[in-house]
Every structure is written in structure tokens, then in C-alpha cells.
Amino acid sequence: MPIEETDRTIASDKVEGTAVYDLDGERLGHIHNFMIDKHSGEVLYAVMSFGGFLGIGEHYHPLPWKVLKYDEERGGYVVGINKDALKDAPRFAADDFPVFDARYGAGVYGYWGVPFPW
């Protein structure tokens, strides 16, 4: 049986589907997937699924991986924004997936106040 988690690592399939909470503990969504820089191997974004029902009306927020903190008590990730402020955060629909290039990345990272790595 493969080990899917250690004190420093976790398998991607265990992260996908993990809940994302705001600072007040309200559930915002869950990790849909993540985007990895092919050159550095660094996780650049966690794509958070938000809203909708059975995939209808759902939209996605790219979150710089560095803005997420894992909370063991909640068993999920916490991001420093509340649901109301999330409406102004970068987002996209399932049928309008963005090109995750440097220009897009700089905008997303800028919104979150994190330096874009390239």
C-alpha cells in the first residue's frame, strides 16, 4: 500500500476535494485541482470550486498556493478572505478556463498581494 501522506508531503488526490474555509470558519468551497509550474515543480495555484449544485452554476477561483494554510482542526485549508470579498476575487466558469500565463498569474497574485514567481 503506497503512503499518501507524511509530515511534509501529501498525495494530490488527497488534496483535491478538501474544504476551503474563511478566517471565521465558514466553508467557501473545495479544492478542485491545482496548477503546477512545469519548470520548477512548484504548485502555483489551488483552483477552488465555489457555489453551484451538482456542477451547475459552479465557478472557480485560482488561489496562489501560498495564501492557503492547512488547519488540522478543520481538516481543510483556510484563506484570509470572507465569502463577501470573494465575489471580487479572480474567478472563471468551467466553460471559460483561462490561460494560466504570466500576465494572468501576475493579476491573480497581485489581487492576493503575493509576488508572482516568474
Residue 19 lies in domain: 12-112
The number of CA neighbours under 13 Å toward the Cβ of 69 is 9
Give tens-digit pLDDT for 59-86.
999 999 999 999 999 999 999 988 888 8
Q: List residues bridging with 27 in a β-sheet.
A: 21
5 occurs within a structural domain:
no
CATH of the domain at 108: 2.30.30.240
Which distant-in-sequence residues (6+ apart) come within 8 Å of 47 by Cβ?
31, 32, 33, 34, 35, 60, 61, 62, 63
71 occurs within a structural domain:
yes
6 occurs within a structural domain:
no
Tally of domains in the chain: 1
Q: Hey, how many other C-beta atoms are within 10 angstroms of the C-beta on 26?
A: 9
67 occurs within a structural domain:
yes
Give tens-digit pLDDT for 6-41.
777 778 888 999 999 999 999 999 999 999 999 999
